[in-house]
A and B are shown apart, each in its own frame.
Chain A
Amino acid sequence: MISIENVSKWYGQTQVLHDCSTRIAAGEVVVVCGPSGSGKSTLVKCINALEPIQKGRIVIGDDVIPAPASKLSAIRARVGMVFQHFELFPHMTVLQNLVFAQVKVLKRSREEAHARAVGYLKRVGLASFEAKHPGQLSGGQQQRVAIARALCMDPACMLFDEPTSALDPEMVNEVLEVMTELAAEGMTMVCVTHEMGFASKVADRVIFMDEGRIVDDCHRDTFFGGTAQCSERAQRFLSKIISH
C-alpha cells in the first residue's frame, strides 16, 4: 500500500531524515513515535508530499512521490490527513468544511457531498453540529470533524500527525475512539502519537524514530515486550513517558 524507500530530506544544510525505509500494508495501522525533533511528523508529511523529499521515493498505490506539481493535488486527495491543531477552516461552518473539498476537488454534486458529509458527521457523533462554526466546538469535537472531513474524500489511507496532543486530557479518548473504530474497519493508518495505550492496543506495528532515523520498526508486542526486544534508545524513551 505505502512503500517508503530510502527517503532522505534536508532543510538547507540540516539533514532531518536519514535514509528511511518501511512498508505499510493495506489495512495496517502503524504508530510512529519518538522524541520531539526526531523527524516523525516530517516523515508523515512526506507521505502526502506536503514536505518535499530530496532523495529516495514514496509509493502509494499507483502514485509515486516525488511527482510533478500538477499531479500533487490528485495524490494528496487520495491520502487523508489529520493535524495536531485540527486546522478546520474557521470561516466555514462544519458542514461547509466537509463539503468544500468534495465539490472542488472530487467534483461531486452539492447534494452528494452534503449527504456524505452528514453521514460521516453522524459517524463521529456530531450530527447536530453541521451549522456551527469550528470556533463554537470543543477541541475534541473539532478533531472529530477534522477526521470526518478527511474521510469524506474516500482516502485510501489516513495520516494522523499528533491528533490528540493539543487536546485537554478529557477529550483525548473521544478522538482515540473514533480512530480505533476506523482501524477496526480496516483503514490503513499512519499515526504519529504519544498515546502508548492506543499504540499497544490498536497498532499493528510501531516505528520508533530518533534523529531522523528509523531506529525500531517492529510488531507492537515486540516493541512493548519490555525485555530488550526493541532498541535501547526506544526503551529509554518508553521508560520516560510511561513511568508517570
Chain B
Amino acid sequence: MNLSLDWSVLPAALPFLLQGMGFSIALLAVSLLGGLVLGTGLALMRLSSNVLVSSFAAAYVSIFRSIPLVLAIFWCYLLVPMVVEAVRGVHTPIGPMYSAFIAYVLFEAAYFCEVIRAGILSVRRDQTSASLALGLTRAQTMRYVILPQAVRTMMPLILTKSIIIFQDTSLVYVISVSDFLGAATRIGQRDSRLIELYLFAGAVYFILCFAASKFVEARTHRKVAT
C-alpha cells in the first residue's frame, strides 16, 4: 500500500498555522470571558422578580439556544456593520474578525446564562440570609457570597464547554477568517496537500482537546475525593 503522503510542506507552513492557532485561542478567550460576563448578567436578569427583565433574558436565551452557531456568525457578519452604520451614520467596516468575536460572545452568553443560573440556584438559600443578616446589601451578597460559589460549582461544566468552544472556533471559515483550521485549509489548497494538512490539524486538535479534557476530569475527581 502506498499512501504517498508528503509532509515536506509542513515546516514552511508552521508560522502561518501558528498565526491561525493564535486567532483560535484569542477567539476562545474572548468568547469565554465575554460569554461569562454577559451570561452572568443574563442569569441575574432571568432571576429578577421583574417580569419584563426576566422574560427578555429568557427570550434571548431561547433564541440563541435554538439557532446553529453558524447562523449566528452569519447574522453578526451581515447585521453588525448595518447596525453600527445606522447608529453612527457613517459606513464603518467591522471586518470578519470582530464580527466573529461578537457572534461568539452573544452565542455563548446564552449557554453560560443557563449554567450560571443553575449555579446560583444550587447555593443554599440561607447563605443569602446569613449574608443579609450581616448587613450586606442584596447586590453585595450576590457578588461576594453567591456568585463565587455558583461559579465554583459550575467549573467542570464551564471547562468542558471551553473545550467545545475551542473546537467550534473552526466554524469561522464560513466568513473566511483564518483560524487554525482555516490556515491549514489555505495551505493545503495552495500546495495541493489537503490530506496531509487535515491529518496534521486533526492530530493537533486531538492532542489539545484530549489533554484538556483529561485535565478537567482529573480536576473534577480531585474535587470529589476531598
- Which residues of A are interface residues toward B (Cβ below 8 A)? 45, 48, 50, 72-74, 76-81, 83-85, 87-91, 100-101, 104-106, 149-150, 153
Contacts and interface: CB of A to CB of B under 8 A. Distances in A.
Interface of B: 124, 126-127, 129-137, 140, 144-145, 148-149, 152
B149 A90 contact: yes
B152 A87 contact: no
Given A76-B132, A88-B130, 9 more contacts: A50-B129, A77-B134, A81-B133, A83-B130, A87-B126, A89-B130, A105-B136, A150-B134, A153-B134
List the 5 closest A-B pairs by CB distance, nearest first: A77-B135, A87-B130, A101-B134, A105-B135, A81-B133
B152 A101 contact: no
Contact of B126 (A78, A83, A101, A149): A83
Contacts of B137: 73
A104 B140 contact: yes
Between B124, B134, B135, B149, the greatest number of chain A beta carbons within 10 A of the residue's beta carbon is seen for: B134
Nearest to B226: A135
Contact of B148 (A85, A88, A91, A106): A91
Contact of A50 (B124, B127, B132, B145): B132
Contacts of B148: 91
A89 B145 contact: yes
Given A100-B144, A104-B144, A85 B124 contact: yes
19 contacts: A48-B133, A50-B133, A72-B132, A73-B132, A73-B135, A73-B136, A73-B137, A76-B135, A77-B134, A83-B126, A87-B124, A100-B144, A101-B134, A101-B135, A101-B136, A104-B136, A104-B144, A105-B135, A150-B133
Which residue of A79, A83, A150 has the most chain B CB atoms within 10 A of its CB atom?
A83
A158 to B, nearest CB: 11
Nearest to B130: A87
A79 B133 contact: yes
